[in-house]
């Protein structure tokens, strides 16, 4: 219910800010400094002051789209059976991004996603909320790149997790211990350094570095005695340090057609890693977008995203001793979006 309310509030706010306020906004071409949309691209460029960019997103993978066989059954971690974990399967996620140029150097962003993931015995409903701010500290020069600092807070929460585990945890009860997880969540605070440079009229490159810290928490019901509860808490709740580096580029094929490629390498360090034999700490992510500029107001985006190790570093709470085996799996999905862009700079004066 909580996720449904958040989704409704976000949708209402999105329509008010994009559709209704558009009557007060002036149409504007994509930013001349990098000739493309901001979206969620990790780059140093920011929006002009008063510029609002809003994007509706929808991402999906299923049997009709999975030409690379990303949807596979996974081997259970710990001593769990494959049947108890199910498979890594379909992915459906509506969402949106709002970017606003508070000044010519500061852009405020808010991204909301509501994925439903076939994970284990059923669909896992996730609410992902990510507010952030990006501040340009050095403007681009002929020989030097633009440099910006970014600060991000990310909150992921999972609901409708229905899975029973039967891992031996040292209890004397004749019945195998069972667990039903209610809600799980993670919170991440991170800082980023972005660099971007226009190399030619139609080609711009980006690179970035990111560090962060995550706390994973969970709620569950169990028939275990108190000693068993303490053991499970240790397995399901943990702290994680995050490190990421990446690079990408925009290439303008035509005045209205822009190709965007981004690569991101993630490494995580969890305080439970020593207890998980053969755990997964790294992920390679490739994000490819094609932006089609329809007119001064709107653009379409077509996206493909690839993960070398499922969602390591993307949805931290999914990973624990019981599910670690599922992350030895390539994954990916396709997406599409529509972006509306308006200029409200007259409101700031």
The CATH code of the domain that includes 103 is: 2.40.128.130
Q: Which pLDDT value is given to residue 118?
A: 79
**Number of Cβ atoms within 10 Å of the Cβ of 335:** 19
Domain residues for the domain of 105 are 2-348
More confident residue, 57 or 224: 57
More confident residue, 33 or 247: 247
**Confidence check: pLDDT of 99 > 70:** yes
Q: Which pLDDT value is given to residue 172?
A: 53
Q: Give the rounded distance of the alpha carbon of 62 from its chain centre.
A: 19
Tens digits of residue pLDDT in 46-58: 998 888 999 999 9
Q: Say if CB 52 and CB 203 are below 8 A apart.
A: no
The total of structural domains in the chain comes to 1
Q: Which pLDDT value is given to residue 221?
A: 57
pLDDT band at 319 (very low <50, low <70, confident <90, very high): confident
Q: Which pLDDT value is given to residue 85?
A: 39
Q: Which pLDDT value is given to residue 296?
A: 78
pLDDT band at 97 (very low <50, low <70, confident <90, very high): very high
pLDDT band at 73 (very low <50, low <70, confident <90, very high): very low
**Confidence check: pLDDT of 166 > 90:** no
Average pLDDT (220-225) is: 59
The CA distance from 123 to 134, in Å, is 34
**Confidence check: pLDDT of 192 > 50:** yes
**Confidence check: pLDDT of 31 > 60:** no
Average pLDDT (318-336) is: 85
Mean of all residue pLDDT scores within the chain: 79
Question: Which of 339, 273, 347, 275 is closest to 301 using CA atoms?
Answer: 339
Share of the chain above pLDDT 90, in %: 46
3-state SS, residue 280: coil
Q: Which pLDDT value is given to residue 26?
A: 40
Average pLDDT (188-214) is: 96
More confident residue, 151 or 175: 151
Q: Which pLDDT value is given to residue 303?
A: 96
pLDDT band at 117 (very low <50, low <70, confident <90, very high): confident
Q: Say if CB 243 and CB 282 are below 8 A apart.
A: no
Average pLDDT (189-196) is: 98
Q: Which pLDDT value is given to residue 325?
A: 78
Residue 2, token pair as written in the block: 């909580």
Q: Which pLDDT value is given to residue 29?
A: 46
Q: Say if CB 140 and CB 33 are below 8 A apart.
A: yes
**Confidence check: pLDDT of 164 > 60:** no
**Confidence check: pLDDT of 19 > 80:** no
Give strand ranges (E) for 104-223.
Answer: 106-113, 116-120, 122-138, 146-159, 179-200, 203-222
């Amino acid at each position: 219910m909580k996720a449904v309310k958040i989704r409704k509030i976000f949708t209402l706010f999105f329509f008010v800010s994009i559709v209704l306020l558009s009557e007060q906004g002036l149409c504007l071409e994509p930013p001349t400094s990098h000739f493309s949309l901001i979206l969620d691209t990790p780059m140093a460029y920011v929006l002009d002051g008063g510029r609002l960019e809003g994007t509706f997103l929808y991402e999906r993978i299923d049997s009709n789209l999975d030409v690379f066989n990303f949807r596979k059954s996974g081997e259970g971690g710990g001593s769990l059976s494959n049947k108890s974990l199910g498979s890594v399967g379909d992915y459906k996620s509506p969402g949106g991004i709002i970017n606003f140029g508070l000044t010519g150097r500061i852009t405020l962003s808010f991204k909301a996603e509501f994925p439903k993931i076939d994970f284990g015995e059923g669909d896992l409903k996730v609410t992902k909320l990510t507010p952030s701010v990006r501040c340009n500290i050095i403007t681009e020069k002929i020989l030097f790149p633009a440099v910006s600092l970014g600060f991000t807070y990310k909150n992921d929460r999972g609901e409708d997790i229905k899975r029973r585990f039967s891992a031996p945890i040292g209890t004397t009860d004749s019945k195998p211990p069972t667990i039903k997880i209610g809600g799980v969540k993670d919170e991440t605070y991170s800082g980023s350094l972005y660099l971007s440079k226009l190399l030619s009229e139609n080609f711009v490159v980006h690179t970035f570095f990111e560090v962060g810290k995550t706390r994973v928490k969970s709620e569950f019901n169990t028939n275990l005695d108190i000693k068993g509860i303490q053991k499970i808490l240790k397995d399901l709740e943990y702290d994680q340090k995050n490190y990421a580096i990446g690079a990408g580029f925009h290439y303008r094929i035509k005045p209205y057609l822009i190709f965007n490629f981004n690569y991101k390498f993630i490494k995580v360090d969890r305080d439970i890693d020593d207890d998980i034999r053969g755990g997964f700490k790294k992920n390679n992510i490739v994000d490819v977008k094609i932006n089609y500029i329809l007119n001064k107001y709107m653009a379409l985006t077509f996206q493909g995203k690839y993960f070398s190790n499922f969602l390591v570093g993307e949805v931290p709470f999914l990973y624990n001793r019981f599910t670690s085996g599922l992350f030895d799996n390539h994954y990916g999905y396709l997406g599409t979006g529509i972006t509306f862009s308006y200029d409200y700079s007259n409101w700031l004066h």
